[in-house]
Amino acid sequence: MHRTLVPLLVALLALPAAAAAKPNIKVCGDAAPGFAHCNSRVVTNAKGSPAVTQAPRGYGPGDIQAAYNLPSASNGGGKTFAIVDAFDAPTAANDLSTYRAAYGLPPCPTTNGCFRKVNQSGNASPLPRADGGWAQEISLDLDMASATCPNCKILLVEANSNAFTDLAAAEDTAARLGASVISNSYGGSEFSLETSSTYNSHFNHPIPITVSSGDNGYGVEFPAASQYVTAVGGTSLTKSGSAFSERAWSGAGSGCSAYVAKPSWQHDSGCARRTVADVSAVADPNTGVAVYDSYKYRGAAGWMVFGGTSASAPIIAGTFALGTGTNPSKPYSNTDTGALHDVTSGSNGSCSVAYLCTAGTGFDGPTGLGTPNGVAAF
């Protein structure tokens, strides 16, 4: 199904107040080889600090659910939505409560087991040291889990650090503790050992695992390149009245892996190895989502507008949780058809094989096979 695209001028005029073009910054800094950065961006004010408002701005749960035709009110009961991130977010439980109350979502407290936070070994303590950037990332992930699957339980597994070895251990813990889906909003430069059992095998679990494709435009990150995950690209999402339109976000990661072999379920001809991405959702901070975070970082605490493929990865994980919740033998096939909006415009850079960096009819790098239109494809 093709998503109708409105003219650019109309699209710009139709952006919500929080989505007007504004500067934004990376929430987490770049990481050294073997380490991951979070893939989120926050809209900033004139001073270059995260722009804080008293009330939420940007897209909320109702917008996300409407844009992607999600049965969030009825589905998801009995599912556990797991999130893997690095370091500790000390205010995660309270921030989650504030977000859900603001939008009238059912409470998800720790007291009844709805929300659970553990370290990479699966224990409630000791937790890793706190980190302001990753705390904002965690708030984004928790809020998108709530927006898409408010009936899900939420499990937050905090790795000791942003080293891929620690994140891999946290991934195994999330699966061991009964996750129905796992969302990963981080990545780093590809490296020759990424296909080894030290790293890649930890993403091989019989449940859907989503990974953000990156926020630096054309180029591939790990673990999005893993053949065991659903790599999630990004779009710019525009609302006009009650209708939504999308185009590829210029920051979304995509391309051809340097090391991971071509999975049997991929059939595109322009990449001899694993192609990224598989599917996509909103990620452009200029058409971003409302997030609440009270752990003061860079002088900011409160309601902010976030984007990055750290937003799209948990949205897709939530869509899986609303669907069957089982892991397909192939995360997605380039020749699959289903209930997806085909995003056909926009690009994330220049490349020698056009579809790897430019959206078009059918499969392409920045948006994969498209964005959700219900849960039939999940």
Q: Are strands 255-261 and 273-276 parallel, antiparallel or unpaired?
A: antiparallel
Q: Write out the H or E segment, with its range, that includes residue 343.
A: none
E strands, the chain, where? 24-26, 37-38, 41-43, 80-86, 115-119, 153-159, 181-184, 186-189, 209-212, 221-222, 230-240, 243-248, 255-261, 273-276, 279-282, 289-297, 300-307, 340-341, 371-372
Which range among 142-146, 172-176, 294-298, 306-310 shows the weakest confidence by mean pLDDT? 294-298
Reading the block at residue 18, the tokens are: 């929080």
Q: Please state the rounded mean pLDDT for residues 321-328.
A: 72
| 15 pLDDT tier (thresholds 50, 70, 90) | very low
Tell me which of 222 and 8 has the higher pLDDT.
Answer: 222
Burial of 47 (0-12, 13-18, 19+ CB in 10 A): exposed
- Give phi and psi for 181, each to the nearest 5: -145, 155
Residues 6+ apart with CB under 8 A from 299: 49, 50
In 3D space, the residue among 290, 271, 287, 276 whose CA is nearest the CA of residue 348 turns out to be 276
- Number of neighbouring beta carbons within 10 Å of residue 101: 12
Query: How does pLDDT run across 237-262, given as a tens digit for each residue?
Result: 999 999 999 999 999 999 999 999 99
Q: Write out the H or E segment, with its range, that includes residue 151.
A: none
Residues 6+ apart with CB under 8 A from 352: none
Q: What is the mean pLDDT of the chain?
A: 92
Cα distances from 255 to residues 7, 187, 250, in angstroms, run: 27, 14, 13
Q: Is the pLDDT of residue 41 over 60?
A: yes
| 0.85 exceeded by pTM | yes
| 325 pLDDT tier (thresholds 50, 70, 90) | low
How far apart, in whole angstroms, are the C-alpha atoms of residue 354 and residue 350? Answer: 8
Q: Is the pLDDT of residue 176 over 90?
A: yes
| 19 pLDDT tier (thresholds 50, 70, 90) | very low
Reading the block at residue 31, the tokens are: 């990481």
- Give phi and psi for 259, each to the nearest 5: -135, -30
Please report the domains of the chain, with CATH numbers, ordered by start residue.
Answer: 8-372 (3.40.50.200)
